[in-house]
Amino acid sequence: MRNLVWFRRDLRLHDNTALFNACKDAEDGVVAVYYLTPQQWSSHDDASLKVNFWLENLTLLSKALEKINIPLLIETCHQFSDVPEAMIALAKKHQCNDIFFNREYEFNEQRRDESVLRAAESPKIGVHRFHDRVIVPPHEIKTKEDKFYSVFTPYRKQWDKIAAECATVLPEPTKQKSINISPDDIPKRVQGFHLEGLPNALWPAGEVEAHRRLETFLEKINGYGNARDIPAVDGTSQLSPYLAAGVISPRQCLVPAIEANGGCVGGDCGAATWISELTWRDFYTHVMVGFPRVCKTQPFKQQTEKLKWRRSEQDFEAWKAGRTGYPIVDAGMRQLNATGWMHNRLRMVTAMFLTKNLLIDWRLGERYFMEKLVDGDLAANNGGWQWSASTGTDAVPYFRIFSPFSQSKRFDPDAIFIKNLCPELADVPAKAIHDLAKLPIALRNAGSDYPGYIVDYKSSRARALSAFKAL
């Protein structure tokens, strides 16, 4: 018996459920495969930076697998629809009786995996699927009416009861019988993606780096509750790219977090707050599975499809470039463009500015984030955007619109972060940066070429309220 393990967004050796089980059951060795699907990735708006991150992690994963006698093969199928036939042909070629993989929950990915199951029926190849990308599988938490939750708080109460039972990490996969199959080289280029000159130095690949970041973060986790909202300080784990690519598992994060929280899942300390962020990851996946329309560019609140969004290419381009005249918004967008990552507080601020103050369709912003983010994940990105746009599940009420000035005053009081990303504001006093009326005067006094407001804040806020009330 030889097994085939199919890697996707689970690019790690340790605590990998499919890999562990494939190794446990194999008698004649294990073969691993990863499919490049560039046309599908392009249609999903995957960022070049993210694809490059995947390739770098694949290189390290291949070396780690080789040490336990598992060759990693790299094949190209431009679309997901090409994968089932290629998968069965590969299994036959290498005499693999069973295929092992971890579940993915997006609509297209689920449809691809179901096609693999059907293709495996005739040749009688076994298919084994595992929940691995989430802590609590989506279907395990339901309302009393056996429906998926659409509000976070009652979902969290159920999640808390189950999560501790899931907080175990698998042993290392066993070393396999050596087989006469050589691993493939990891490509340096992927058609349709520009991988040269990307800022990947900010995101070193590999499990070792992921766990180094986790250990560093655990040393300061008690202060996470306050530090997580301050973009000028290193107060977050910055593990999101590693979780999105599966270089570290959510269980590997949860286990030490529970330990730091005194053995509990809930509470109000820093560790409990971070556990809550892990819960949000599961919740947005739960919503995506229960309400698949969110995978299809549709709002969760279907009545908001009638919103009269503005069409302004000029305003949208200014927002993307970080030249709106609103400092905290521009700083966030410039961080995204420069690093492929944005502080979570700023993701909310920039998203709400686009959807409320500019009244531009959230789907345009969601797509732009995916095109740039190294940690782009459909469930989390869509959930965050629909929360900010008041179109999603458990979203912010439409009349609660963040003021960019109160946000910057509260979370970047000395404008350290803003000035670092917007050097045109270096000579502008922080108090003026946080003041709607004083900023234009301070800009003139400083001789700054920072752009003026592209939209009047008060009238834009009233316009958004009117558009939502019209529903």
The residues annotated as belonging to the active site are 277, 280, 309, 344, 362, 385
The SS3 call for residue 462 is helix
Instruction: Report d(CA 116, CA 91) in Å as an integer.
Output: 12
What is the residue-wise DSSP string for 393-447? TTPPPTT----HHHHHHHH-TT-HHHHHH-GGGTTS-HHHHT-TTHHHHHHHHHT
| Bridge partners for 130 per DSSP | 102
Q: Provide the token pair at 271.
A: 């560790």
- Give all strands (DSSP E) within 77-213, no chain letters: 98-102, 126-130
Q: Which residue has the tokens 């993606």?
A: 193
Instruction: Report d(CA 207, CA 281) in Å as an integer.
Output: 20
Residues in the chain: 471
Starting at the edge strand found earlier in the chain, the sheet holding 30-36 runs: 72-76, 30-36, 3-7, 98-102, 126-130
Instruction: Report d(CA 444, CA 242) in Å as an integer.
Output: 44
- C-alpha distance from residue 418 to each of 248, 331, 467 (Å): 31, 5, 31
